[in-house]
Structure 1
């Protein structure tokens, strides 16, 4: 099986709206919801994208299903990002690897996703995008994993996601000309970046 995309879209976005009245993933950028941009970029490269939403978020689920994502609701999403990631992986266990992307990062370009998928297809166990800016080089998201790290990924818990796996293992850094790997939507002004 080819690589699959895992789109994490189950967070509550409390930094964006502490009262929980506005779902940041459904806020428009150029008239298109944030999460739709993120999903389209994955779908442009990967034949299969599993989108993880939180239970009760039918609006986000409907947007993603209409694009062709396999949508699955994670009952444990509030326990942290790791729960959503593990949930998504369990729905795509037959893939040869995974590109794990965040629903609130709509500016990641399809070329970056293709480069990460290509690195894993060519033998990298972990591929991370790196962007050079005035401050030097910075790692960003998404991150691609081969099957080698599946046991570690499935054992994750809490809100740190796979950060520890990336930190503690050999990583193939993929240079990209894509500042979108560093830009997420955490607050309303981020929509204007």
Structure 2
């Protein structure tokens, strides 16, 4: 079974006191939604979290997902990636999912997961926008885990993706959902307004 690793240790620094992962989507906090969605396709869901105390801990613990504390979460995304990939052992693949992508669906996760069999020569299988821009979720081959475990600072793994060269298989998802994150209150207001129109 492919583990799904959810990054949820960021600070929501641009939300001016609100936590974007606690914003409600379809009646529940975004983080709870993302965990439940991941659990619908994998029994091995691990969530990178900031140090306690933090409200996200209660959501993750209630879900039954494996909580992975990132003691140096303030360092940036590199710390979260390094810490959560260090929990992997003999798994041949792992899927990385950012917690703040509210339009991603379980079908999107399945599409990227299934691409591993469809394009077996790749090292990375990556969700993309409809016009071909790489986004999330991303499945990594185990041969790339050591490089990810060495990331630091705010390095989101771009160099690891680039190192795979032509062995990156893009999986187009509907619209911009593979890249649409909501970082500010204005982003959330615009997204909610657009949902009411459609």
Alpha-carbon distance, 1:106 to partner: 2.4
Q: Which runs of 5+ in 1 are unaligned?
A: none
Aligned partner of 2:154 in structure 1 is 159
Query: In structure 2, what is the Cα distance between the partners aligned to 1:137 and 1:117?
Result: 18
User: What 5-or-longer segments of structure 2 have no aligned partner?
Assistant: 192-198
Aligned-pair CA distance for 1:57: 4.2
Query: Over aligned residue pairs, what C-alpha RMSD do you find?
Result: 1.7
Q: What is the number of residues matched between the two proteins?
A: 186
> Residue 5 of structure 2 aligns with which residue?
6
Question: What does 1:24-39 align with in structure 2 at a 5 Å threshold?
Answer: 24-39=20-35
Does the C-alpha gap of structure 1 residues 145 and 127 become closer, same or farther in structure 2, counting only changes over 3 Å?
same
Q: What is the CA–CA distance in structure 2 between the aligned matches of 1:152 and 1:69, rounded to whole Å?
A: 25
CA distances 1:135-160 after superposition (whole Å, capped 9, x unpaired)? x3322112110101111111111212
Cα deviations by residue, 1:94-116 (Å, 9 ceiling, x for unpaired): 32211111111122111111122
Partners in 2 of 1:69 and 1:106 — Cα distance?
Answer: 19
Does residue 177 (structure 1) correspond to residue 177 (structure 2)? The answer is no
Where does 1:47-126 land on structure 2 (aligned, <5 Å)? Answer: 47-121=43-117, 123=120, 124-126=122-124
1:118, CA displacement in angstroms?
2.1
Shift of 1:88: 0.9
| 3-state DSSP of counterpart to 2:69 | strand
TM superposition shift of 1:121: 4.9
Alpha carbons 2:129, 2:177 under 8 Å: kept: no
User: Which consecutive segments of 4 or more residues in structure 1 shift more than 4 A?
Assistant: none
> For each residue in 1:142-189, what CA deviation from the matched residue of structure 2 results, as whole angstroms up to 9, or x when unmatched?
211010111111111121221221123120111222532121120113
Q: Take 1:60 and 1:92, find their aligned partners in 2: how far apart are those partners?
A: 22
Helix, strand or coil at the partner of 1:140: strand
